[in-house]
Amino acid sequence: MDYQQLIEVMRRLALEAGDKIMEIYNADDFDVKVKSDDSPVTEADEAADALISAGLRAAFPDMMLVTEEQSASHKEKGETFLIVDPLDGTKEFINRRGDFTVNIALVEEGVPTRGVVYAPARERMFFTLADGSAVEEAGPFDASAMGETTPIRVADSNNESLLVVASKSHRDQATDDYINKYNVQDMKSAGSSLKFCLVATGEADIYPRVGRTMEWDTAAGHAVLHGAGGKVVRFDNHAPLTYGKPDYANPFFIAYSPAVTLKEA
């Protein structure tokens, strides 16, 4: 794998998909359908998926591709593959709350190693470089040329005064019960894979997820967080979260700075 080419392609496709998403987001109205699992899907999800999938298949024709919006791809099996969520945070998009992202990642031997997370409504772009380290790019963004980037790193967390980020749309009592095991200075809510990126930049120390997610929801954010020195582990036994599971469904997990002393579930 040519990682430099991969990063250039993923970044460009994320930006182009973001432009398409924002066209629809800023329109007076857009279509919303319901998928077989009762989750919503919009024309923005489908347009972004078509653009990203075509671009990845053209650039990497021999690489396995798994994407949320193409159910046939969910039958593919392997430990090394590209994985896409063209619009993570569809509910945020529908409600025009802005916390939605484009997510593209490479998983190698079950581990997300490269990825891009683009939040077009927030004008924030996070990705890994060819060497796997993580950066945030400053806008305005140009799909044809990378702008100024800043290396990002997880916080040297103070366990007596932690900053916690949790889901905006999926917060529940079980999540609150776990958070209450820590000494929390402040709590913030965010949608989509932005939560991983807030831990990656040190804007939060820990993100516990006690709820259903799929691998395409988390792989890109996981790669960015890993590139910034962070970790993602299973909620139940603190073993590393792995990818390429038979149904692409994740167990509950915790994303965090290694300076955080994890509590038992």
Q: What are the structural domains of the chain?
A: 3-151 (3.30.540.10), 162-256 (3.40.190.80)
Rg value, the chain, Cα: 17
Question: 168-212, pLDDT tens digit by residue?
Answer: 666 788 899 999 999 999 999 888 899 999 999 999 999 999 989
Strand ranges, E, within the chain? 32-34, 40-42, 65-67, 81-88, 101-108, 111-119, 124-128, 134-137, 149-151, 162-167, 184-190, 206-209, 213-214, 231-234, 249-250, 253-256
- My answer on whether omega of the bond before 258 falls inside 30° of 0, hence cis, is no
pLDDT (0 to 100) of residue 170: 66
**Binding-site annotation: residue ranges:** 68, 85, 87-90, 217
pLDDT in tens, 5-63: 999 999 999 999 999 999 999 887 787 777 766 677 778 989 999 999 999 999 999 99
pTM above 0.85, yes or no: yes
In the annotated binding site for substrate, the residues are 68, 87-90, 217
Please state the residue numbers annotated as binding site for Mg(2+). 68, 85, 87-88, 217
